[in-house]
């Protein structure tokens, strides 16, 4: 896990751009032209990643699933068997909460939305999310506790082994069994493409319930053309998602084909 984390941070921006800056400094005397190119690419890439307007444009390419209008929520009780909420990391030992690990801000967004859905539909909830970098408690345990304490909603299933979105889907399928194959899937809008695809490959009929849209008006002064730190973080999340979406469809599709997995036999998605 540490090596995988290190490799990911170095290959994906902004880590890749910082490596280019180091390369530019290293080659500044021996290969000045190559050093200049490396500097321009890295500085330009970091600048683009820091712009809210770029986040807005990039998010629109990933946020292809439409929002689930509230007027349809009551009908979900007849269309689905369960609500599935995907984990999103944790905050370690927050002193403000007695030193207990807490859901991240993104995870809390998902919990708030799922709680509203559960109260409107009466559907049972499954939280899926494993150990964060290998140490307990699981994301599922932390999120389930928050749902019960903060939103007054109980969780029926906790899947606490998964480390990736693909494993979220596979382990959830094993936990729910054949009786619960139509799910309302709750995650960020920019994460929904990969999530829906993964759960469909696991045999689920999926009703998408995206939230946390970033491809909307960024509401910044000067139209979002000034750099800011939050945009840098958001750009990193979107780049990770885009790479993951492509990688999943290449690796897991080919792996399923080699194993003879009948991925095309799942129920059609409802949305």
Q: What is the pLDDT of residues 63-111, one digit of tens each?
A: 999 999 999 899 999 999 999 999 999 999 999 999 999 999 999 999 9
Candidates 3.40.50.150, 3.40.640.10, 3.40.50.300, 3.40.50.620; correct CATH number of 66-212? Answer: 3.40.50.620
Task: Give the residue extent of every domain in the chain.
Answer: 2-49, 66-212
pLDDT at position 148 is 97
- Fill in the DSSP letter of residue 100: E
Q: What is the pLDDT of residues 139-182, one digit of tens each?
A: 999 999 999 999 999 999 999 999 999 999 999 999 999 999 99
CA distance 154 to 134: 26
Q: What is the pLDDT of residues 21-76, one digit of tens each?
A: 999 999 999 999 999 999 999 999 999 999 999 999 999 999 999 999 999 899 99
Q: How many CA atoms lie within 13 A of 254 on its CB side?
A: 5
Helical packing angle, 229-259 and 52-62, nearest 10°: 20
Longest Cα separation, the chain: 69
Spatial CA neighbour of 123 closest among 68, 185, 63, 170: 185
pLDDT at position 15 is 93
Tell me the three state secondary structure of residue 56. helix
CA distance 34 to 209: 47
pLDDT at position 6 is 83
């Amino acid at each position: 896990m540490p090596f995988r984390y290190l490799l990911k941070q170095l290959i994906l921006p902004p880590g890749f751009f910082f490596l280019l800056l180091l390369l530019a400094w290293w080659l500044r005397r021996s290969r000045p032209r190559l050093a200049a190119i490396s500097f321009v690419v890295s500085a330009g890439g970091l600048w683009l990643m820091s712009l809210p307007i770029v986040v807005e444009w990039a998010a629109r390419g990933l946020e292809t699933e439409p929002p689930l209008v509230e007027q349809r929520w009551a009908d979900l009780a007849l269309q689905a068997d369960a609500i599935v909420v995907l984990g999103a990391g944790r905050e370690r030992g927050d002193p403000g909460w007695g030193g207990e690990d807490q859901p991240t801000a993104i995870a809390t967004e998902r919990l708030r939305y799922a709680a509203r859905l559960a109260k409107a539909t009466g559907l049972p909830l499954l939280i899926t999310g494993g150990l964060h970098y290998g140490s307990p408690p699981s994301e599922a345990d932390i999120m389930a506790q928050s749902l019960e304490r903060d939103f007054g909603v109980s969780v029926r299933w906790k899947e606490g082994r998964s480390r990736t979105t693909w494993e979220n889907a596979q382990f959830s399928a094993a936990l729910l069994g054949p009786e619960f194959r139509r799910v309302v899937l709750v995650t960020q809008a920019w994460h929904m493409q990969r999530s829906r695809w993964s759960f469909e490959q696991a045999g689920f009929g999926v009703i998408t319930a995206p939230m946390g849209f970033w491809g909307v008006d960024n509401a910044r002064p000067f139209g979002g053309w000034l750099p800011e730190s939050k945009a840098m973080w958001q750009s990193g999340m979107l780049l990770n998602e885009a790479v993951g979406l492509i990688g999943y469809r290449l690796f897991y599709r080919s792996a399923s084909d080699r194993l003879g997995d009948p991925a095309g036999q799942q129920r059609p998605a409802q949305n």
